[in-house]
Amino acid sequence: MSQKKVTLVYSLKNTFVLKDSLLLKQMGYQVLLIQSAPYSDLVRFFWNRIRELILGFYYITKSEVVFSWFNDYHSTAFIFLAKCFNKPRVLIVGGYDAVSSKKLDYGIFLKNNFRQSLARWNYKNASEIWVVHKSLSVGCISAENQDGTQSGILNFMPDLNTPIREAPTAYDDTFWQREGDKMTNTILTVANIADKRTYERKGIPLFVKLAEVLPNYNFTIAGIQAKPKEFGSLPKNIRLLGTLDREELKREYSKHQFYFQGSQVEGLPNVLCEAMLCECIPLGNGVFGIPDAIGATGYVFEGTKGLASAIEYVEQIKDRVDLGKKARERIKKQYPISRRTQAFENLLNLTEDEN
């Protein structure tokens, strides 16, 4: 009996894409991966669209289900072909594809253009939409109050009939666990930063302000692809690290006492959950999935206005080692791999029953 297959299409090889691919393989499926990089030049852009149609036709005829991480250009050909062959097609939404932020010049719904039209068509013609956090479906009031960010697929498309399910990403607590001792008075943030928009979106200006007010603490920013001009002159207590692999990230999480997630737009941050599993005390901006991840194990603040209270919190609980352990237990309970596996099984078993 031949191994059953699924198609997984994506634009960037992010951690969550690799995790889903591995999980599906562990469930016994052969995963047909198609990467469609977000090229901006016209030649490579149109070649990608042609390539998607050719590979899509070949892969989809062999697959039980088609998954697309994020809703954008790269999703359209696969949803179209899967619909033609009457195959289930799932859009996995992570953040960009459910927001509109004028301040950040960010989000698929920001500009009323052909790209947005394709995204709307994709949403209407998918079999299911999976969001990593419910706010990407119904919207986040806190984000709108803070900086005017509009969000929520149903707010942009109130007549949408495609079923939307909350299917959070999952985390391997056997790998993500503290190794060694924590260093006191240390605060870490992780973000892949290569431009001004990402610098702002990931809340790095708030992190810098925190470092200025807490000169006796050591701060680390990991994931810098290139030092953008937006950093300017940084306080001496900030250390910059480049892109880290999983083992290097775990070492940084393990030795830092606090983890800071200041994002203005986010779905469910992988790095926050990984850091919490490594017993970092979380500090996070109260938007999208960040407060749900943190719960009562750390501190949730409201943007720039709430930064002063976050500073007070850090000073008050810096000796509370129990909070790091509680943070780990929360992520283990809220976002186990079994929860993600169940989401895949529910869909794939239903597909098998229909066949």
Residues 180-208: pLDDT tens digits? 999 999 999 999 888 888 889 999 999 99
Mean pLDDT of 237-256: 94
**CA-to-CA distance for 175 and 273, rounded, in angstroms?**
12
Q: How confident is the model at residue 228 (pLDDT cuts 50, 70, 90)?
A: low
Identity of residue 337: I
Cβ contacts of 50 within 8 Å, gap of 6 or more? none
Q: How confident is the model at residue 32 (pLDDT cuts 50, 70, 90)?
A: very high
Q: How many residues does the chain have?
A: 355
Q: Which CATH class is domain 5-169+336-354?
A: alpha beta
pLDDT tops 60 at residue 21: yes
Q: Taking a C-beta distance cutoff of 8 angstroms, is the pair 67, 93 a contact?
A: no
Q: Which CATH class is domain 183-334?
A: alpha beta
The pLDDT value given to residue 227: 67
pLDDT tops 90 at residue 317: no
The pLDDT value given to residue 56: 84
Instruction: For residue 10, give the DSSP letter.
Output: E
The CATH 3.40.50.2000 domain(s) of the chain lie at: 5-169+336-354, 183-334
Instruction: For residue 198, give the DSSP letter.
Output: H
Mean pLDDT of 96-106: 95
The pLDDT value given to residue 19: 92
| Plot region of 2 (φ>0 → left; ψ -120 to 50 → alpha; else → beta) | beta
- Mean pLDDT of the chain, nearest integer: 91
Mean pLDDT of 38-63: 83
Q: Please name the residue that has the structure tokens 């109130």.
A: 158
Half-sphere exposure of 218 (CA within 13 A, CB side): 11
The pLDDT value given to residue 39: 73
Q: Is 190 helix (H, G, I), strand (E, B) or coil?
A: strand
**CA-to-CA distance for 132 and 205, rounded, in angstroms?**
26
Q: Is 122 helix (H, G, I), strand (E, B) or coil?
A: helix
Query: In this structure, are strands 89-93 and 281-285 parallel, antiparallel, or unpaired?
Result: unpaired
Q: Taking a C-beta distance cutoff of 8 angstroms, is the pair 220, 239 a contact?
A: yes
Start-to-end C-alpha separation, the chain = 16
Summarize pLDDT for 144-162 with one digit per residue, the tens. 999 999 999 999 999 999 9
Identity of residue 29: Y
Identity of residue 24: L
Which pTM does this prediction carry? 0.92
**CA-to-CA distance for 205 and 169, rounded, in angstroms?**
27
Phi, psi of 315 (to 5 degrees): -65, -35
